[in-house]
Amino acid sequence: MAFDYDLFVIGGGSGGVRAGRVAAQGGAKVGLAEEFRMGGTCVIRGCVPKKLMVFASGHGPAIEAAKAYGWDHAGGKFNWTKFQPMLHKELERLEGIYRKNLAGAGADIFDARATLKDAHTVELSTGETFTAKHILVATGGRPFLPDTPGAAELGITSNEVFNLDAFPERILIVGGGYIACEFACIFNGLGAHTAQWYRGAQILRGFDDEVRGFLAEHISERGVDLHVGLEVERMERRDGRIWVKGTDGREDVFDQVLFATGRVPNSGGLGLEEAGVKLGRKGEIVVDDYSQSSVPSIYAVGDVTDRINLTPVAIREGAAFVETVFNGNPTKPDHENVASAVFTQPEYGTVGLSEEEARAQEPIDVYCAAFRPMQKSFIGVDERVLFKLIVSQATQKVLGCHIVADGAGEMIQLAAVAVKMGATKEDFDRTVAVHPTMSEEIVLMKTPTRRD
Ligand code: FAD
């Protein structure tokens, strides 16, 4: 049977664009539909705009530190009206690059919503239909909003936060995951009065327990009014602001309430189940190790499969899919020891197992150092950094590395190479320190803090 396309990709985000571009470069006839903006969550309303706001917010504390270091003229206030157009100009530039690269590789781009008609046919919101030998669903995820009274009408999510008309003087961040913590630190650093409420017992569920406590303490010390075990009971518009009642009876007023209460796969209304594609409990597309769904011609990559929901992982999954399907080289995306960073202030970089995960697996040695770095202690800032290695007692391999410090996102990328290569504690020990740095501690920890 002749098809219109060798590959039709639904979704122009991290995973979809990589797969579409590489397949087209290899000579496949590729079509891709994007219903919103090319680049997807990462470029338009995720990693990139968030990181630019992280950079902006870091200058608040840096100005204070500059004063303490002897600078006379440091000062000023964050100007949202100046920053926001610059932010959107940059996103437009990146969106253009994504579009250009994909079109340059020879793919056809359709600015339309796509749904499945059957295992080999997609229908666009323009009314056009196309057949394809393979269909790749790369539709990502979307924010989940709880059914708290007032949340849907008055709350915002990460989808809206980059488009606010005015900078909020007082903002409430609801949630305790990495996105919630990052936005709490961003707004706090930019000078907003920032509260963060999380219903669980501790922020950053799923990460190393010791780090969770350490970060919660430091986020609070930097000025975020953080409360755990607290939810929004209801919220109402009052005198132009948002009145919020908490489950412990407290009442407060904010200019914005940002719900970062989890994300769900974008799999609804796509015609997936009608085409026979099996979905999991959260609505994620169930795929095998090669990203193939229960329908042989339909594959899925990225957040819609809810494996590891990070941009570089979606990109690797997209590339592995092309290698498998178009290059005759069956390739499983590698989900082992994926490093990641939480861009809080201070940052958290992590690779490998948490102490709890490692202990459940085998006997371990834990090396841990928490100390005041030179840069802070010089100006009397009582803030510590944390370096932690989790080591297998049997093999002496480093199973996990955790760093909480300014710049930890950059540091962990390099440590991840060593961990991925299977470095042992001895390999770390025989690496000569770079002095004076904070990160030299990672090669200087001689005695285990704990052995279990
Ligand atoms: P997406 O990038 O979400 O792309 C999916 C695309 O499909 C979207 O453009 C959507 O409009 C389109 N689409 C959906 N349905 C249809 C349809 N029916 N027809 C046509 N188009 C459709 N990851 C990191 O690695 N580091 C970070 O620091 C980081 N920060 C983040 C911060 C925030 C606030 C958020 C929300 C996410 C962050 N992420 C981060 C996660 C990262 O953005 C995602 O893991 C990544 O974008 C997933 O890529 P994807 O290709 O699966 O989906």
* The CATH homologous superfamily of the domain defined by 340-451: FAD/NAD-linked reductase, C-terminal dimerisation domain (3.30.390.30)
**Mean of per-residue pLDDT scores for the chain:** 97
pLDDT tens digits for range 208-257: 999 999 999 999 999 999 999 999 999 999 999 999 999 999 999 999 99
Q: Does the pLDDT of residue 35 top 90, yes or no?
A: yes
Q: What is the pLDDT of residue 133?
A: 98
Q: 442 is written with which tokens? A: 């990672």
Position in ligand 1 atom list of the atom nearest CA 309? 45
- Whether ligand 1 lies within 6 angstroms of the CB of 31 is answered as no
Q: Does the pLDDT of residue 44 top 80, yes or no?
A: yes
- Whether ligand 1 lies within 6 angstroms of the CB of 316 is answered as no
Query: What's the CA-to-centroid distance between 43 and ligand 1, angstroms?
Result: 8
Q: 24 is written with which tokens? A: 């087209």
**Residue 98 · residue 14 · CB < 8 Å:** no
Q: What is the pLDDT of residue 452?
A: 82
Q: What is the pLDDT of residue 1?
A: 75
Query: What's the CA-to-centroid distance between 95 and ligand 1, angstroms?
Result: 13
**Residue 55 · residue 33 · CB < 8 Å:** no
- Whether ligand 1 lies within 6 angstroms of the CB of 33 is answered as yes
pLDDT tens digits for range 51-93: 999 999 999 889 989 999 999 876 789 999 999 999 999 999 9
How many C-beta atoms surround the C-beta of residue 88 within 10 A? 14
- Whether ligand 1 lies within 6 angstroms of the CB of 142 is answered as no
Map residue 434 onto helix, strand or coil: coil
Task: Please state whether the predicted TM-score (pTM) of the whole model is above 0.95.
Answer: yes
- Whether ligand 1 lies within 6 angstroms of the CB of 11 is answered as yes
Nearest to 310 by CA among 342, 357, 353: 342
**Closest C-alpha residue for ligand 1 atom 24:** 310
**Closest C-alpha residue for ligand 1 atom 41:** 310
Torsion angle of C-alpha atoms 21, 22, 27, 28, degrees rounded to 10: -70
Query: What's the CA-to-centroid distance between 42 and ligand 1, angstroms?
Result: 5
Q: How far is CA 393 from CA 28, 196, 293, 310, in A?
A: 49, 39, 40, 31
Fold classification of 151-261 (topology level): FAD/NAD(P)-binding domain (3.50.50)
- Whether ligand 1 lies within 6 angstroms of the CB of 137 is answered as no
Query: What's the CA-to-centroid distance between 40 and ligand 1, angstroms?
Result: 5
- Whether ligand 1 lies within 6 angstroms of the CB of 305 is answered as no
88 catalytic per annotation: no
Write down the catalytic residue from 59, 73, 227, 435: 435
Q: What is the pLDDT of residue 74?
A: 67
Question: Which residue type is seen at 5?
Answer: Y
- Whether ligand 1 lies within 6 angstroms of the CB of 46 is answered as yes
Report DSSP state, residue 174: E
What does the alpha-carbon distance between residue 286 and residue 284 come to, in Å, rounded to a whole number? 6
Q: What is the pLDDT of residue 308?
A: 98
pLDDT tens digits for range 306-324: 999 999 999 999 999 999 9
Q: What is the pLDDT of residue 90?
A: 97
| Domain edges within the chain | 5-141+264-325, 151-261, 340-451
Query: What's the CA-to-centroid distance between 41 and ligand 1, angstroms?
Result: 3
Find the mean pLDDT for residues 297-305: 98
Q: Per CATH, is 5-141+264-325 categorized as 3.30.43.10?
A: no
One fold for both 151-261 and 340-451?
no
Position in ligand 1 atom list of the atom nearest CA 269? 18
What does the alpha-carbon distance between residue 52 and residue 419 come to, in Å, rounded to a whole number? 29
Q: What is the pLDDT of residue 76?
A: 81
**Closest C-alpha residue for ligand 1 atom 34:** 46
Find the mean pLDDT for residues 323-334: 98
What does the alpha-carbon distance between residue 43 and residue 94 come to, in Å, rounded to a whole number? 7
Exposed/middle/buried for residue 386 (C-beta within 10 Å: 0-12, 13-18, 19+): buried
**Closest C-alpha residue for ligand 1 atom 38:** 46
Query: What's the CA-to-centroid distance between 267 and ligand 1, angstroms?
Result: 13
